Structure 1
Amino acid sequence: MYYTYGPPNYGYRMYERQNNQQQGTITVTGVGTVIVSPSIARIQLVVSTVNRSLQEAQQENAERMNRVLDILQQIGVPREQIQTTSFSARPIYNYQDGNQILQGYEVRNEITVITEDMDGIGEMIDRVTENGVNEVVSIEFSVDNPENFYMEALSFALSDAKRKAENLAEQLGVNLNPVPLKINEQTTSPGVGPAQVFKMVSTPIEPGNQSIEARLEVIYQV
């Protein structure tokens, strides 16, 4: 794991008290980022078949999907980690001279496969595309219990804010009260899109790293 901190973002305010003693606040933004490796992949796969007969299109689709499910179980994916996302059967039309002509039917069956085997994703893609899958819609990576990493990022954000406030107070020649007057959690988007690297052997999928970021606006009294 690596930790990074954001650039300073702060303000300084002074105001007069009735006893003519000066008192003020320092406002800083603390940023904490935790870099983690994804541990879960969600893979959307599609089996699509087209035939002039709806019944034959459905039968072919079912046969191909059954082969895909068998392959997934052979490589160790539990059945409960395979979910049907959508199923559709639709007519396909062509237009000639303003007339609608039925060409056939498309049957489309989409499933989502959840796996924690990051190293086996490439092999999975190869096996299922050889046995019936004709579209890989998406591969999404995530981590287990992202809330735990976010709480860790919050801790680093608070430390970052304190460090910035202490540095600014020293430059201004004022004393800093280490207990914040107020802490505001800023909205952020934890996680960034995974990097995918495709090479010339099989279908290697590199999930890369994800960053979970927290931002805090912290107000200190001086």
Structure 2
Amino acid sequence: MAATALGVLALFLLVSTVREFKGLPLIGSGVSATNTISVSGKGEVFAVPDTATFSVTVRETAKQVKDAQDVATKKGNDIIAYLKAGGVEEKDIKTTDYNVNPQYEWTQSVCPQSGYCPPGKQVLTGFQVSQTLSVKVRDTKKAGDLLSGVGARGATDVSGLSFTIDDEDALKAEARDEAIAQAKEKAEALAESLGVSLVRVVGFSEGGGGGPIYYAKAAMMEAGFVGAASVAPEIPVGENKIVSNVNIVYEIR
């Protein structure tokens, strides 16, 4: 009889303990929040870019592939040597594209005054070789001189100029903290208006925004980025905006 009573008491205490544990306001306790509010926050941080990135392309056409490759390779090597001499590290110069394409010309056959006129045909006239380099400049003040210099050394296209921040992690964290603080302030004000209390965070999501500043290829060419310009183009760096958008769900009671 005593053993049975002790067993019942032990079972009662176990059930009570489990019930109390499940009632604790902990994320992941297995208890679904039935009453919640959702708030959003936005944080913005502005910073001056410290890195410029652009692409340089060399194109050469000749009757033989080797001849086109030889000229394109020489110009490409001259550009790479110039960039390195200008302070660009070897790791920041990368070939992103290399193509050899046949070039054709449409010729119309001479038709007799009467009778059958043979159709025209494509005639192989040569080959075009192109090489594209991606360049990262870690001193934005040098970007204008380098862009002018690669044009003077045979670059046929300069495109994709953008200004970025090399390490955005700290700035993203700052924007996130600002967004979370704004969302929390909204939640506290809303809870006060509703006459409820915030219990815990039961949901969180984040999205970003902002990005690098780009220059259109046409605008770059008009500014003298391509060609033997005697004066380096003036390139405003501006500011980049790092944005964090958060959504937080609170349990209320």
Same fold per superposition (TM over 0.5): yes
Measure, in 1, the Cα distance between the counterparts of 2:238 and 2:197: 41
What secondary structure sits across from 2:144 in the alignment?
A: helix
Measure, in 2, the Cα distance between the counterparts of 1:66 and 1:219: 57
What secondary structure sits across from 1:203 in the alignment?
A: coil
Q: Residue 88 of structure 2 contacts residue 138 of structure 2 at CA under 8 Å; is this kept in 1?
A: no
The aligned runs of 1:20-59 (5 Å cut-off) are: 24-59=35-70
Q: Which amino acid aligns with 2:237?
A: P
Measure, in 2, the Cα distance between the counterparts of 1:187 and 1:119: 32
Provide Cα deviations, 1:11-46, integer angstroms capped at 9, x if missing partner: xxxxxxxxxxxx953321111122222222222101
Provide Cα deviations, 1:62-90, integer angstroms capped at 9, x if missing partner: 22112212211221212232111121111
What secondary structure sits across from 1:38 in the alignment?
A: coil
- Residue matched to 1:6: none
The aligned runs of 1:172-183 (5 Å cut-off) are: 172=193, 174-177=195-198, 180-183=200-203
The answer for unaligned runs of 5 or more in structure 2 is: 1-33, 109-119, 225-230
What secondary structure sits across from 2:213 in the alignment?
A: coil
The aligned runs of 1:157-172 (5 Å cut-off) are: 157-170=179-192, 172=193
- Residue matched to 1:215: 245
Provide Cα deviations, 1:181-213, integer angstroms capped at 9, x if missing partner: 32321333x432416597696312223222222
Cα drift, residue 107 of structure 1: 0.8
Q: Which amino acid aligns with 2:91?
A: E
What secondary structure sits across from 1:187 in the alignment?
A: strand
Q: Residue 180 of structure 1 contacts residue 218 of structure 1 at CA under 8 Å; is this kept in 2?
A: no
Measure, in 1, the Cα distance between the counterparts of 2:200 and 2:107: 74
The aligned runs of 1:37-186 (5 Å cut-off) are: 37-97=48-108, 98-170=120-192, 172=193, 174-177=195-198, 180-186=200-206
RMSD (Å), alpha carbons: 2.4
Q: Which amino acid aligns with 2:188?
A: E
Which structure is higher in strand share?
1
| Stretch of structure 1 that moved more, 70-79 or 107-116 | 70-79
Cα drift, residue 49 of structure 1: 0.8
What secondary structure sits across from 1:181 in the alignment?
A: strand
The aligned runs of 1:195-206 (5 Å cut-off) are: 196=215, 202-206=232-236
The answer for unaligned runs of 5 or more in structure 1 is: 1-22
Which structure is higher in helix share?
2
Identity of aligned residues (%): 26
Bigger Rg, structure 1 or 2: 2
Change (3 A) 1:114 1:136: same
Measure, in 2, the Cα distance between the counterparts of 1:64 and 1:24: 68
Between Structure 1 and Structure 2, how many residues are aligned? Answer: 197
Cα drift, residue 58 of structure 1: 1.3
Q: Which amino acid aligns with 1:212?
A: I
- Residue matched to 2:211: 192
Query: Under a length normalisation based on structure 1, what TM-score does the superposition of the two structures give?
Result: 0.78
Q: Which amino acid aligns with 1:186?
A: E
Cα drift, residue 148 of structure 1: 2.5
Q: Residue 162 of structure 2 contacts residue 214 of structure 2 at CA under 8 Å; is this kept in 1?
A: no
Measure, in 2, the Cα distance between the counterparts of 1:216 and 1:135: 41
